[in-house]
């Protein structure tokens, strides 16, 4: 079973920041938080991942709470092309660890 809980759906206005929450209250010390997104039946696209520090790349920012029990993915200026299902996954830092996907959050960016 997935170790994360996400809202099933969210809306965001185009041009505004999209803040997608994720709860992972049972996360272990060696587990990373990964975010992927899937745009209508394409392969999931890697967005960002982190352990305990906040991370930022050209796509998004990842904010992890100090107790690591939750995180937020931030898309700073959402566009219509960001409409997708967003998956938050925790995965241990071990060899051969696969991703366990939950149902994710369906983000709809509205014009």
Partner 1 sequence: KAGVTQTPRYLIKTRGQQVTLSCSPISGHRSVSWYQQTPGQGLQFLFEYFSETQRNKGNFPGRFSGRQFSNSRSEMNVSTLELGDSALYLCASSFGGVGETQYFGPGTRLLVL
Please state, in angstroms and rounded to a whole number, the distance separating the CA atoms of residues 107 and 76: 14
Q: Which is nearer to partner 1, 44 or 75 (CB)?
A: 44
Q: What are the start-end ranges of the E strands in the chain?
A: 9-13, 18-23, 31-38, 45-50, 55-56, 61-64, 70-75, 84-92, 105-110
Q: Which stretch binds partner 1 (CB under 8 A): 19-27, 28-36, 59-67, 71-79?
A: 28-36
Q: In whole angstroms, how close is the CB of 31 to partner 1 at the nearest point?
A: 10
Q: Which is nearer to partner 1, 20 or 36 (CB)?
A: 36
Q: Which two tokens stand for residue 41?
A: 């039946």
Q: Per CB under 8 A, does 53 bind partner 1?
A: no
Contact positions vs partner 1 (CB under 8 A): 32, 34, 36, 41-46, 49, 87, 91, 93-103
């Amino acid at each position: 079973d997935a170790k994360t809980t996400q809202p099933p759906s969210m809306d965001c206005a185009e041009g505004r920041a999209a803040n997608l929450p994720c709860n992972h209250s049972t996360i272990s010390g060696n587990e990373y938080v990964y975010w992927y997104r899937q745009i209508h039946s394409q392969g999931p696209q890697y967005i960002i991942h982190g352990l305990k520090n906040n991370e930022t790349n050209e796509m998004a920012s990842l904010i992890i709470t100090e107790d690591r029990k939750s995180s937020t993915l931030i898309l700073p200026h959402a566009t219509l092309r960001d409409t997708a299902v967003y998956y938050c996954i925790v995965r241990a830092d071990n060899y051969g660890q696969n991703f366990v996907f939950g149902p994710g959050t369906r983000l709809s960016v509205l014009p």
